[in-house]
Amino acid sequence: MDESKASHSLTQWHGTTIIGVKKGGRTVIVGDGQVSMGNTVMKPNARKVRRLGAEGTAWGGKVIAGFAGATADAFTLFERLERKLEQHNGQLVRAAVELAKDWRTDKYLRNLEALMIVADADAMLVLTGNGDVLEPEGGENSQITAIGSGGNFALAAARAIDSYEDDAETIARRAMEVAADICVFTNGRVTVEAI
């Protein structure tokens, strides 16, 4: 069996929705808890959003992150990002750029399959294995971004209510409810982290 046929015959892991909303001086990342394999829910309450860094460090607990993709790969990337944050005194943008460079060029890291939303009080970014460090549009007043299988649903819902809702967490939670109603790989059991 050639490689292309072999890869398509393997059971595929799917899913997740992660949304980040920055508004009114507050940043929130919300992620659903569903882990699916094919058409089976393997776990309904996975924790895909977390605070990074030890509380004792200057930046510890002040960076939040969510991932979509392979769990082991995401944990590896979280650990690498924590190291970059240590090297760059908690400067998220600089640490994210350095991680993205490594992720794109390092022989081991470039095989990791995940996307990440990372944020601190000043910045919210999407990181990809292509070397991308993307800041959502919207400027200082409001920024919204989403990743994962239900990401586009959550993003559309959040943008629709952004103009009349001032609370970042309310926007993110409502957008996640919409995504969970539409995307079969997303559920309503969410983890919320806010700065």
Residue 9 reports pLDDT greater than 60: no
Question: For the residues 46-74, what does the mean pLDDT come to?
Answer: 85
CA distance 111 to 138: 32
pLDDT, residue 193, reads: 96
Predicted confidence at residue 10, as pLDDT, reads: 35
Residue 169's contacts (CB-CB under 8 Å, 6 or more residues apart) are: 21, 26, 28, 30, 192, 194
Tens-digit pLDDT profile for residues 103-150: 888 888 878 888 899 999 999 999 988 889 999 988 668 999 999 999
Which is catalytic among the residues 11, 16, 17, 27? 16
13-194 CATH fold: Glutamine Phosphoribosylpyrophosphate, subunit 1, domain 1 (3.60.20)
Residues composing the chain: 195
When mean pLDDT is compared across 30-44, 51-65, 94-108, 121-135, the lowest value belongs to: 51-65
Above 50 in pLDDT, residue 13?
A: no
* 27 assigned to active site: no
